[in-house]
Amino acid sequence: MTQAEIKLCSLLLQEHFGEIVEKIGTHLIKTGSQPLRVIANDTGMSLDQVKKALCVLIQHNLVTYQLQKRGFVEYEAPCSRVLRILRYPRYIYTAKTLYSDMGELIVEELLLNGKMTMSAVVRKVADRLTETMEDGKTMDYGEVSNTFMRLADTHFIQRCPMAPETTETSDAPPPPAPTLAVNEKDMYVVPNLNLIGKGKRRRSFEDEDNGEHKAKRQKQDADSQESPPDDGIYWQANIDRFHQHFRDQAIVSAVANRMDQTSSEIVRTMLRMSEITTSSTAPYTQPLSSNEIFRSLPAGYNIVKQILDQYLTLLADDPLEFVGKSGDSGGGMYVINLHKALATLATATLESVVQERFGSRCARIFRLLLRKKHLEQKQVEDFAMIPAKEAKDMLYKMLSENFVSLQEIPKTPDHAPSRTFYLYTVNTLSSARMLLHRCYKSVANLIERRQYETKENKRLLEKSQRVEAILASMQATGAEEVQLQEIEEMITAPERQQLENLKRNVNKIDASENQVDETIFVLESYIESTVKKP
Amino acid sequence: RIKESQNAGKMKGSDNQEKLVYQIIEDAANKGIWSRDIRYKSNLPLTEINKILKNLESKKLIKAVKSVAASKKKVYMLYNLQPDRSVTGGAWYSDQDFESEFVEVLNQQCCKFLQTKAEAARDSKQNPMIQRNSSFASSHEVWKYICELGISKVELSMEDIETILNTLIYDGKVEMTIIAAKEGTVGSVDGHMKLYRAVNPIIQPTGLIRTPCGLCPVFDDCHEGGEISPSNCIYMVEWLEF
């Protein structure tokens, strides 16, 4: 929980949930797990406010609670989970590419609401889709349920832990906090709902058939009073699965860049086959035989078995070492080295940062040090073929930014500088951590800049909003062209230009936040993969 | 008489000393020898050594060559010998200056050669094994290509070309494999050959450096409410107008 991380979390919470939640959330992140009263005391807010804020945070899976031995409940907010808020757009976009608009809306609803029952999701998504369709058409609940089930089958959404079933008449008082648990087998099982219905449009003002609407309204109220059959079974988005998908995407695109399209398709097939069978933290996927891979290739690729074998041999021999051969049965057993792939991607990220910040000659020195591990000043100059003065300058610059570190090897016990070897070296893990910290701070800077830009132009934004509201109401009451034009001219041309600029800037900053988040993902995955779990 | 014999002794003495120093320098052959080393070996005082060295130089029997490693050091060697590579730096140094432009030009030429070879292999559309093998070039091939190009005034050996190719590896543009080759095939050294192949980088330039914060020189001083802050960052202003 570095300063930069805390700052970023507080900015994200403030933007998405407001001041009060932000205060409580930040306090919890800073101080670890605390009981309710202590939170209220430390933040100086009323108990009621704290309770409401905690409700919001728990609903969105940002805060967990635990029943301590003494009988009170402690609340904890893991910093990493709050930082995921930054990645929500990427999750939604992935769902869109895999399952088109329906998947996108389902995942968006789940992320926006934290936890939802299946029937609520289906109803909302159908309504939203119906809005966008042409007049007269509506979205059937069945299609949405199908997409929902497919999302659950591929583990992109999962059930939330539920309160245990209460046994009959237990005399002991209920515990202060229920312990939630979910059965592993049931995590992706979709309840058997018979959702029949169609999406409804929102009421529009110009309605000729008011009578019908009244009837419909009554009927809808009657529907919502019955409790849906899947009450209590809540779903949430499975973030780990999305991360696995991003990681696979990165590996496939790296292979495509280094080799060719066909090799990347083969690697994609192998990763797809191991999606469900390999856990997300495993260093290698399960071994896959070349026969299995051949059968699972997508239909469009009709390559002969021998060619596939050649590609697999080439992939296994490549210096990148993404794919390894683990045996010869079944035509050759191949695995994908996940940890090695993550390390290579993280190293490539480091190299590209060095290249852009210091120049390609520095990048040459950096890669040289990565390969040869430890080198003296003189050896660096010789291997990299860079004049001595420039090489020295570049090494010192990188040293000052902590990309490169010095290792002292004394020749004499008194460590005299003239009689000591100084070796330059690159430590990938610590450089990755440093870069990650920098990324967090950059995103915080970008968010602040965006808020600043919006604040600067607040007056203009309010004015344009008022004008739009006036326009809309006048159009509804059937005003003339001339009057409409008069209202539009209330915003002068330079102001319009300023608004355009503002919109463009905000979009640009938003897009770059997402780009930095991609770097964050690669570095975080790498650092996580190096942490040895007990 | 005594004076004469003394004089004669001195002359002979200095002759002996000169002969000794000359012998030492001759032994050092190509590499030359530093004046302090001569002193250790001959056990003569410094002033004597300097006198003798000046004598020999004026007689054009030895010469002083500046070492490229430490520019203040002077090594002495016989007049008609060519200084060794380690002293003058070999093909990359001309008169103690590192020829960085020459190295750059060679760098780019080798890179282009390997890239065209890889593209030709990719376009040939044969099965992947053959494609990959034909995109490799051995160091001997590259050496021949560079010699034929004739851009080098100095004669380059295969080791020189290999050092250039190594810098290309450190640039991330080329990868190398070593294969076992029969003795006697062209370009093989001690039973193995080095093959080089042009490659593409595996990722696009990463997201952090597309923002001004990634490249900002005053990143550590920047915080909200300070002199340098995201709100008044001039780099952001320029970047947003881009």
pLDDT tens digits, A69-105: 777 788 888 888 888 888 999 999 988 998 888 888 8
**pLDDT for B160 beyond 70:** yes
pLDDT confidence tier of residue A521, bands split at 50, 70 and 90? very high
Chain A residues 315-334 with CB within 8 Å of chain B: 319-320
Q: Between A75 and A195, name the one with better pLDDT.
A: A75
Q: Are B56 and B43 in contact (CB under 8 A)?
A: no
**pLDDT for A461 beyond 50:** yes
pLDDT of res. B92: 64
Please list every residue in chain B whose beta carbon sits closer than 8 Å to the beta carbon of residue A319: 175, 177
Chain B residue whose CA is closest to A307:
B127
Tens-place pLDDT, residues A336-354: 888 888 999 999 999 999 9
pLDDT of res. B34: 75
Tens-place pLDDT, residues B96-127: 566 778 888 888 888 888 888 888 887 777 77
Check CB contact under 8 Å for A514 and B205. Answer: no
Check CB contact under 8 Å for B129 and A314. Answer: yes
Check CB contact under 8 Å for B214 and A357. Answer: yes
3-state secondary structure of A79: helix
Chain A residues 421-480 with CB within 8 Å of chain B: 435, 438-439, 441-442, 445-446, 448-449, 452
Q: How far is CA A283 from the centre of its chain?
A: 21
Phi, psi (rounded to 5 degrees) for A191: -65, 150
Query: Which range (A117-126, A150-159, A232-241, B150-159) has the least confidence?
Result: B150-159
Report percent pLDDT > 90 for chain B: 0
Please list every residue in chain B whose beta carbon sits closer than 8 Å to the beta carbon of residue A401: none
Tens-place pLDDT, residues A488-506: 777 777 888 888 888 888 9
State the sign of the Cα–Cα–Cα–Cα dihedral A279, A283, A287, A290. Answer: positive
Please list every residue in chain B whose beta carbon sits closer than 8 Å to the beta carbon of residue A314: 128-129, 132
Q: How close B71 comes to chain A (CA, Å)? A: 12
Q: Between A95 and A182, name the one with better pLDDT.
A: A95
Q: How close B98 comes to chain A (CA, Å)? A: 6
Nearest CB to B230 within list A348, A368, A448: A448
Percent of chain B that is helix, strand, coil (3-state, to 5): 55, 15, 30
Please list every residue in chain A whose beta carbon sits closer than 8 Å to the beta carbon of residue B177: 319
Query: Which range (A229-233, B20-24, B136-140, B156-160) has the least confidence?
Result: A229-233
pLDDT of res. A225: 43
Model pTM?
A: 0.81
Chain A residues 492-531 with CB within 8 Å of chain B: 505, 508-509, 512, 514-519, 522
Chain A residue whose CA is closest to B127:
A307
| Residues sharing a CB contact under 8 Å with residue B96, sequence separation 6 or more, in sequence order | B66, B68, B71, B88, B89
Please list every residue in chain B whose beta carbon sits closer than 8 Å to the beta carbon of residue A502: none
pLDDT of res. A223: 43
**pLDDT for B25 beyond 60:** yes
**pLDDT for A247 beyond 50:** yes
**pLDDT for A420 beyond 60:** yes
Report percent pLDDT > 90 for chain A: 4
Q: How close B128 comes to chain A (CA, Å)? A: 7
pLDDT of res. A489: 73
Check CB contact under 8 Å for A385 and B103. Answer: yes
Please list every residue in chain A whose beta carbon sits closer than 8 Å to the beta carbon of residue B233: 445, 449
Residues A322-326 have a mean pLDDT of 85
Please list every residue in chain B whose beta carbon sits closer than 8 Å to the beta carbon of residue A367: 169-172
**pLDDT for A327 beyond 80:** yes
Q: Between B39 and A184, name the one with better pLDDT.
A: B39
Q: Are A322 and A315 in contact (CB under 8 A)?
A: yes
Q: How close B11 comes to chain A (CA, Å)? A: 43
Residues B5-17 have a mean pLDDT of 54
Of A448, A379, A403, A465, nearest to A8 by C-alpha is A448
**Chains A and B: how many Cβ contacts under 8 Å?**
138
Check CB contact under 8 Å for A445 and B177. Answer: no
Which residue of A309, A377, A445 to mutate against B (max B Cβ within 10 Å)? Answer: A445
Q: How close A259 comes to chain B (CA, Å)? A: 8
Check CB contact under 8 Å for A310 and B127. Answer: yes
Please list every residue in chain A whose beta carbon sits closer than 8 Å to the beta carbon of residue B240: 505, 508-509
Chain A residues 409-428 with CB within 8 Å of chain B: none
Chain B residue whose CA is closest to A260:
B122
pLDDT confidence tier of residue A217, bands split at 50, 70 and 90? very low
Q: Between A395 and B177, name the one with better pLDDT.
A: A395
Q: Does A376 touch chain B (CB under 8 A)?
A: no
Q: How close B30 comes to chain A (CA, Å)? A: 21
- Structure token pair of residue A489: 């001219």
Check CB contact under 8 Å for A257 and B122. Answer: no
Which whole-number Å values give the CA distances from A94 to A107, A336, A404, B62, in the listed order?
10, 23, 36, 77
Instruction: Encode burial over A398-413: b for 16+ CB neighbours within 10 A, e otherwise.
Output: beebebbeeeeeeeee
Q: Which helix (H) or strand (E) holds A75?
A: strand A73-76
Beta strand A374-376 with A420-425 is antiparallel
Distance in angstroms (rounded) separating the CA atoms of residues A258 and A288: 22
Q: Are A425 and A407 in contact (CB under 8 A)?
A: yes
Of A248, A240, A266, nearest to A91 by C-alpha is A240
Check CB contact under 8 Å for B170 and A367. Answer: yes
What DSSP character marks residue A400? H
Tell me what the pLDDT averaged over chain A comes to.
81
Residue A38 buriedness (CB in 10 A; 0-12 / 13-18 / 19+): middle
Residues A369-383 have a mean pLDDT of 87
Q: Does A357 touch chain B (CB under 8 A)?
A: yes
Question: What ipTM goes with this model?
Answer: 0.75
Q: How close A401 comes to chain B (CA, Å)? A: 10
Check CB contact under 8 Å for A442 and B208. Answer: yes
Query: C-alpha angle with apex A161: A159 to A162, nearest 5 degrees?
Result: 105
> Going edge to edge, which strands form the sheet with A64-67?
A34-35, A73-76, A64-67
Of B87, B190, B179, B176, nearest to B135 by C-alpha is B176
Q: How close B22 comes to chain A (CA, Å)? A: 32
pLDDT confidence tier of residue B83, bands split at 50, 70 and 90? low
Q: Between B128 and A284, name the one with better pLDDT.
A: A284
pLDDT of res. B2: 57
**pLDDT for A11 beyond 50:** yes
pLDDT of res. B7: 45
Q: Between B209 and B112, name the one with better pLDDT.
A: B112
pLDDT of res. A304: 81
Nearest CB to B214 within list A319, A442, A509: A442
pLDDT confidence tier of residue A222, bands split at 50, 70 and 90? very low
